[in-house]
Amino acid sequence: MIFSPEIKSQVKAIFSDFDDTLTHQSLFHSETLRTIEQLKQKGFWLVIVSGRPAGWADCLMRILPIDAMVFENGAGVMVKENNKIRTVRLANDQKIEEERKILREVFDSLKKEIPHLKLATDQPYRLYDYAIDFIEEPPPLSAKEIEFVLNRLSKKPGITAKLSSIHINYWCGSHTKVTACEYLLNTEGKKRHINKENVLYSGDSPNDEPLFEFFPLSIGVANIKLFWDKLKHHPKYLTLEEGGKGFKEFAEELLT
């Protein structure tokens, strides 16, 4: 048993990362869909919080029974309203063209030092950020190369970078998954009388770390152990199973 009865009655919303938290070894399994359907039927407020592009968010919002999705690490959110999807852009888009040029130049300069560096195949569907793929498709980057890229990005003024389980995302501005979750809680959350104490956040990697700090209740699926030593803020709970199986493991407790 992961949760006490008090904690179970406190949780009214599940906010979850997508890649390697809802998916398992890159695939979205039928049992994960079934779990999400059951959580929805029970009345939980369901939000995906991801570094994936706006294009993915539009698709996932249409095909899954979720209420909202944070995309591109907090650049924006999509909210379901009366069978429509409303997009809220949270990143500053006044200088978007200029900023995209800067992000491209950063990538080009990094590629001069690591010639096999590549952008994620979902890059064309991103509005605000750049995503360097380190393991979604071959060839992978080594741990040393990932460190090198993160180090370089951390020295660029005005740029924020985060490591997910598959990509290194970077963007101009200071928005994050946390600022987008705060926006959702202050708007949609208020309407539902849900605050951050009522949310259980689930994730698997360093880009979830600010959420593990922000939400009092958080859970890591077992594959987070790969990044355990990199984290300053750890999830409050851990599942035994990895990815979508871990999601199902803790959701079943909330459903009973």
Q: Does 17 bind Mg ion (CB under 5 A)?
A: yes
194/246 with CB nearer Mg ion? 246
Q: Which of 16, 20, 69, 244 binds Mg ion (CB under 5 A)?
A: 20
Note whether 239 and 219 are within 8 A (CB).
yes
17/129 with CB nearer Mg ion? 17
Task: Report residue 225 as tokens.
Answer: 């152990």
Give the three-state DSSP class for 233.
Answer: coil
194/199 with CB nearer Mg ion? 199
> Can you state the percent helix, strand and coil of the chain, rounding each to 5?
45, 20, 35
Task: Provide the b/e sequence for 183-199 (b: ≥16 CB within 10 Å).
Answer: bbbeebbeeeebebebb
* 50 CA to centre of own chain: 3
The DSSP H or E segment spanning 36 is helix 30-41
Q: Does 19 bind Mg ion (CB under 5 A)?
A: yes
Would you give the binding string for Mg ion spanning residues 60-99, x where CB under 5 A is met?
A: ----------------------------------------
Q: Does 204 bind Mg ion (CB under 5 A)?
A: yes
67/204 with CB nearer Mg ion? 204
Q: Does 160 bind Mg ion (CB under 5 A)?
A: no
Q: Does 129 bind Mg ion (CB under 5 A)?
A: no
Q: Does 179 bind Mg ion (CB under 5 A)?
A: no
Note whether 171 and 72 are within 8 A (CB).
yes
Q: Does 205 bind Mg ion (CB under 5 A)?
A: yes
Q: Does 165 bind Mg ion (CB under 5 A)?
A: yes
Alpha carbons 56 and 62: distance in angstroms, whole number: 10
Q: Does 145 bind Mg ion (CB under 5 A)?
A: no
Instruction: Read off the DSSP letter of residue 120.
Output: -
| Residues that contact Mg ion, how many (by CB under 5 A) | 6
Q: Least Å distance between CB 229 and Mg ion?
A: 17
Alpha carbons 85 and 48: distance in angstroms, whole number: 14
20/133 with CB nearer Mg ion? 20
Residues that bind Mg ion (CB under 5 A): 17, 19-20, 165, 204-205
